[in-house]
Amino acid sequence: MKKYNFGAGPSILPQEVMKATADACVEFQGMGLSLMEISHRTKEFQAVIDEAQALFKELLGIPEGYSVLFLGGGASTQFCMVPFNLLEKKAAYLNTGVWAKKALKEAKLFGEVVEVASSADANYTFIPKDYDIPADADYFHITTNNTIYGTELRRDLDSPVPLVADMSSDIFSRPLDVAKYGLIYGGAQKNLSMAGVTFVIVKEELLGKVSRPIPTMLDYRTHVDKGSMFNTPPVVPIYCALQNLKWIKAQGGVEEMERRAKARAELLYGEIDRNKLFCGTAKEEDRSLMNICFVMKEEYKELEAEFQQYAAAAGMQGIKGHRSVGGFRASCYNAMSIEGVQALVNCMKEFEAKH
């Protein structure tokens, strides 16, 4: 049976990306060796990381003065690396979910943190809009897509201080005005690659301004200076990212990724709103195109487990909602086809007809 992977992360990747990565793990570019066993200092791997960085810049239109880094440690390590490198006295954070809160907690180890607004009291069902960003903050941190709660900020905000964004789960799903950001980071395992690599896009002029000493590996300048090759980078995940970047380019770039994301979301939210059994959890204007969260209406709550089983039997994988929201979450990253979403919608319609 065909399976559709709606898992939140690690998550779906295009078949050809996984195939190309698997092939390289057996035999890399006719070298008679696996990608896993060659030195990262070979000219063959240097070409991989160079091309991945170049495609990153091309696809997102990254201006001069920014570096693209491929690091280890996940987005969670960035929660501390960002303040380590950028927070001298004070930083501002927008609290829009569990990940935002974790980032905020780490920043407190380095200085004063102002939470400019929070939707915690509403279980993060919306993204606050009315707040002031202190003009004397070293930076303002946002989470553009709240993977757990299914809310998303799909515009590039204006900020009086450098804007720092966790884009773990929506990078490459829309065109970005990178010039509006000081730093963008994310774990790759949602919408870019397999688990194991973390990307950072950083405006170089922001670095080297804090007075504290920074351990070598946690200092962005180390990785900017050495082109992410100060130590051994996660070679296979970087190769996988390169395959996916090539795939995105061949499909028509981030504009086409956005068009598909909107088409998928329109189809699924349309059904959620129409179907008598289900309702969405996020405020409409903040609904994520990437992680679509929905529950069963109060009067049908007892059917949730049954729908879960019904959908799984029809090939829908990973639609169980995060425990802090409950219900269902259909993650619709770049590689999810409209057919996959249509299959889920069909399940919802059939299930409605049964009840």
Ligand X SMILES: *Cc1c(COP(=O)(O)O)cnc(C)c1O
Q: Which residues are catalytic?
A: 99, 166, 190
Minimum Å gap between C-beta 230 and ligand X is 20
Minimum Å gap between C-beta 112 and ligand X is 23
162 or 234: CB nearest ligand X: 234
53 or 147: CB nearest ligand X: 147
The Cα 126–Cα 95 span in angstroms is 11
Instruction: Choose one: 49-57, 69-77, 150-158, 303-311; the region binding ligand X (CB under 6 A).
Output: 69-77
The Cα 214–Cα 84 span in angstroms is 7
Instruction: Choose one: 68-76, 123-131, 325-333, 340-348; the region binding ligand X (CB under 6 A).
Output: 68-76
Q: Which of 151, 169, 228, 275 binds ligand X (CB under 6 A)?
A: 169
169 or 275: CB nearest ligand X: 169
The closest alpha carbon to 74, from 156, 227, 194, 231, belongs to: 194
Instruction: Choose one: 16-24, 45-53, 166-174, 310-318; the region binding ligand X (CB under 6 A).
Output: 166-174
Instruction: Choose one: 34-42, 163-171, 225-233, 341-349; the region binding ligand X (CB under 6 A).
Output: 163-171
Is 45 a binding residue for ligand X by CB under 6 A? The answer is: no
Q: How many CB atoms lie within 10 A of CB 76?
A: 15
118 or 168: CB nearest ligand X: 168
| Residue nearest ligand X, Cβ-based | 187
Is 127 a binding residue for ligand X by CB under 6 A? The answer is: no
The Cα 285–Cα 276 span in angstroms is 21
5 or 147: CB nearest ligand X: 147
Residues touching ligand X, count (CB under 6 A)? 12
Question: What residues form DSSP beta bridges with 316?
Answer: 4
Q: Residues 70 to 99: which contact ligand X by CB under 6 A?
A: 74-76, 99
The Cα 58–Cα 86 span in angstroms is 26
Q: Residues 180 to 209: which contact ligand X by CB under 6 A?
A: 187, 190
145, 169 contact by CB (below 8 A)? yes
Is 143 a binding residue for ligand X by CB under 6 A? The answer is: yes
Chain centre distance of CA 205: 25
The Cα 144–Cα 169 span in angstroms is 8
The Cα 101–Cα 229 span in angstroms is 31
Q: Which residues of 235-271 are buried (b: 16+ CB within 10 A; e: fewer)?
A: bbbbbbbbbbbbbbeebebbeebbebbeebbebbbeb
Q: Contact positions toward ligand X, by CB under 6 A?
A: 9, 74-76, 99, 143, 147, 166, 168-169, 187, 190
